[in-house]
Structure 1
Amino acid sequence: MPFLKKPQTTEPLVKVWDKKAQKCGLHRTIYSVNGDQYRGEWWDNKKHGKGMQVWKQAGIIFDGDWSFGKRNGFGLLAKFDPEKKEYVRAYAGYWKNDKKEGAGTYFYSPSGIYEGHWSKDQRAGWGRMEYENGDVYEGQWLEDNHHGQGVLFLANGNRYVGMWREGKKNGRGKFLFLDRGQLYEGFWVDGVAKCGTLSDSEREAAPSPTIYPIPEVCLLDPRSVLMEAQSYLTENDEKSTIAS
């Protein structure tokens, strides 16, 4: 019959162009209008596999693993240094859903380096932080703060060994004054030593020892006094934590 049209055997050009626009597999560099660029693997039109992304305006480069458009797996991050006028390393480690997750090393500066675990872009778990002033912290972290058991090595040689909460000394701990040969053992609340004992420790080897040694405590039962004071402070600390 003359009014019947022959069925179309080829796809419309719109569908052909759409298929060509879909990115899958290894592609050469893809440029964006804002200057960003990506070179690497794709799947279902999303970055997937190995690839390098350059965010031009932010001055950031990421080279590593991708999963359905997000950084997942191991990757290296570099940031542009306007003074050096070049990209410098910022992070080497693992990612999950575009955030630092798991083991990784972050370079805040040439002398400020964190090596340890991350959770949702924050330092969490065990980690070691070298600060620009020469201090070093080794221990537990939570939400980017010293939290839990940890040791703080000060640049002058002194150190604190004990408990932390939200970045401050909280709970039982020891502070070694190696510069003057003394040891403080006691209980801290929000970074302040509340009760404890101060005694001589390796005073002979200290570079700047005190003029006189610490006299002996004359209390009949100093341990019981300290335990009672620490129990009171612990109880008050727990109440304030619950209230907050």
Structure 2
Amino acid sequence: MPFYQKPRNFTPLLIAAEKRSVKNGLHHAIFTSNFSKYVGDWKKDLKEGKGKFLTISGKLYEGDWFKGFRHGFGTLSHLNPDGTYTLEYRGNWVRGKPEGIGWWYYANGDVYLGYWKAGQRHGFGTMWYANNTVYVGYFSNGKKQGLGLMVYKSGDRYEGNWENDVKHGFGRFYHLHTGQLQEGCWVQDVCVKSKMCDILIRQFCDRPTEYPIPPNELKYPKAILESHEFWIQQKVGEIDKNLKFCIDQM
């Protein structure tokens, strides 16, 4: 009869050591193989809860984590040569990328506040440019897309449709220094057809036209437009609704 009997709840030392090495709860500092540093909560060996992560390149994230990803609300900053930090982004994150509502402060001085998706500006937002230009409208995959308003440094403004970051479709351009409204259709940032008229405050503008613009319209504008090469290239059933409205108003 053997003198030793294996306990029913016996756990090999190797397995027990692995279990003890799994990080759970709050850890003061964990360093990765590339010398990045994490301080915060863990769950089943993954970052989860509140924590801050400083990379070797000087990027600092402080906020929520879930299953090892930046997930929830958090801020991203970068280290300056003088030891201070400059804020880059604050807002919501999903699986490591900005998603939801957030602010982004660009290095060139631009600032964006609005919706994000998978790290790109996507949805409604406002962009303040360093050259004192402001855009308020919709974005898609980081570019202006859909309806939007652009107010330029000169005070002039465009309100209408955008596509792939440029004016495209029906829109109105207000020449506020001369007191005129340009209304028409844009294609790839170029106005292909429009009509001009004076606005009510023309006489109060900086450089108003000497005389009001008299009404001047083509007799058969729709027939002329339908013979235009741009119109001929359009496929039946694919005419943009805003473009059709523009044509009907001419």
**Range into which the TM-score falls when normalised by the shorter chain:** 0.7 to 0.9
Range with bigger deviation, 115-124 or 7-16:
7-16
Two-structure CA RMSD over aligned residues (Å): 2.5
Q: Which residue of 1 aligns with 2:216?
A: 217
User: What's the CA shift string for 1:118-137, capped at 9, x where partnerless?
Assistant: 01100010000000111000
Between the aligned partners of 1:226 and 1:212, the Cα distance in structure 2 is 28
Find the residue that maps to 2:15 and give its secondary structure: helix
- Structure 1 stretches of 4+ with a deviation exceeding 6 A read none
Between the aligned partners of 1:28 and 1:141, the Cα distance in structure 2 is 41
TM-score by length of 1: 0.87
Using the TM superposition, give the Cα deviation of residue 32 of structure 1 relative to its aligned residue in structure 2, in angstroms. 2.1
Using the TM superposition, give the Cα deviation of residue 10 of structure 1 relative to its aligned residue in structure 2, in angstroms. 5.3
Range with bigger deviation, 224-233 or 199-208:
224-233
Q: Which residue of 2 aligns with 1:12?
A: 12
Whether 1:29 aligns to 2:26 is no
Q: Which residue of 1 aligns with 2:233?
A: 236
Find the residue that maps to 1:19 and give its secondary structure: helix
Q: Which residue of 2 aligns with 1:55?
A: 55
Identify if the C-alpha distance between structure 1 residues 230 and 115 changes in structure 2 by more than 3 Å, giving closer, same or farther: farther
Is there any run of 5+ residues in structure 2 with no aligned partner, and where?
240-250
Q: Which residue of 1 aligns with 2:131?
A: 133
The answer to whether the 8 A contact 1:189-1:237 is kept is no
Which amino acid is 1:24 matched to? N
Identify if the C-alpha distance between structure 1 residues 192 and 41 changes in structure 2 by more than 3 Å, giving closer, same or farther: same
Identify if the C-alpha distance between structure 1 residues 42 and 235 changes in structure 2 by more than 3 Å, giving closer, same or farther: farther
Q: Which residue of 2 aligns with 1:174?
A: 172
Between the aligned partners of 1:77 and 1:198, the Cα distance in structure 2 is 47
Which amino acid is 1:48 matched to? E
Identity rate, percent? 35
Q: How does 1:98-177 map to 2 (within 5 A)?
A: 98-109=96-107, 111-177=109-175
Q: How does 1:30-45 map to 2 (within 5 A)?
A: 30-45=30-45
Using the TM superposition, give the Cα deviation of residue 16 of structure 1 relative to its aligned residue in structure 2, in angstroms. 2.8
Q: How does 1:60-99 map to 2 (within 5 A)?
A: 60-82=59-81, 85-99=83-97
The answer to whether the 8 A contact 1:60-1:77 is kept is yes
Between the aligned partners of 1:237 and 1:166, the Cα distance in structure 2 is 19
Identify if the C-alpha distance between structure 1 residues 134 and 189 changes in structure 2 by more than 3 Å, giving closer, same or farther: same
Which amino acid is 1:62 matched to? Y
Identify if the C-alpha distance between structure 1 residues 11 and 81 changes in structure 2 by more than 3 Å, giving closer, same or farther: same
Using the TM superposition, give the Cα deviation of residue 209 of structure 1 relative to its aligned residue in structure 2, in angstroms. 2.1
Find the residue that maps to 1:6 and give its secondary structure: coil
TM-score by length of 2: 0.85
Count how many residue pairs are aligned between Structure 1 and Structure 2. 235
